[in-house]
């Protein structure tokens, strides 16, 4: 079940809710009981761009051939 980040505009608290995607846009209530909340963008989208540079070399060098030096 995906998790969604919300921020309360009444007290400024941020909180996380796990809910079905069908309810992603439903209003969320702050843990303090406030109803003036906004849904934040997923952190997955933010880290995706930065992780692309670090993740690329791993599958390229993961083969068994180059490990033995036959490709060098
Ligand atoms: Zn609040």
Cα-to-centroid distance, 4 and ligand 1 (Å): 16
Decide if pLDDT at 34 tops 70.
yes
Structure-token pair, residue 50: 């930065």
**pLDDT number for residue 45:** 47
Cα-to-centroid distance, 41 and ligand 1 (Å): 18
pTM: 0.55
Cα-to-centroid distance, 45 and ligand 1 (Å): 25
Structure-token pair, residue 57: 């070399």
Cα-to-centroid distance, 44 and ligand 1 (Å): 24
In the predicted model, what is the mean pLDDT of residues 56-63? 54
Per-residue pLDDT tens over the stretch 5-33: 999 999 999 999 999 989 888 889 999 99
Cα-to-centroid distance, 46 and ligand 1 (Å): 25
Cβ atoms of 24 and 5 within 8 Å: the answer is: no
Distance between CA atoms of residues 72 and 56, nearest Å: 20
């Amino acid at each position: 079940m995906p998790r969604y980040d919300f921020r309360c505009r009444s007290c400024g608290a941020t909180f996380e809710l796990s809910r079905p995607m069908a309810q992603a846009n439903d209003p969320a209530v702050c843990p303090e009981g406030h109803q003036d909340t906004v849904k934040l963008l997923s952190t997955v989208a933010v880290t995706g761009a930065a992780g692309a540079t670090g993740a690329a070399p791993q599958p390229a060098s993961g083969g068994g051939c180059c490990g033995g030096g036959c490709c060098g």
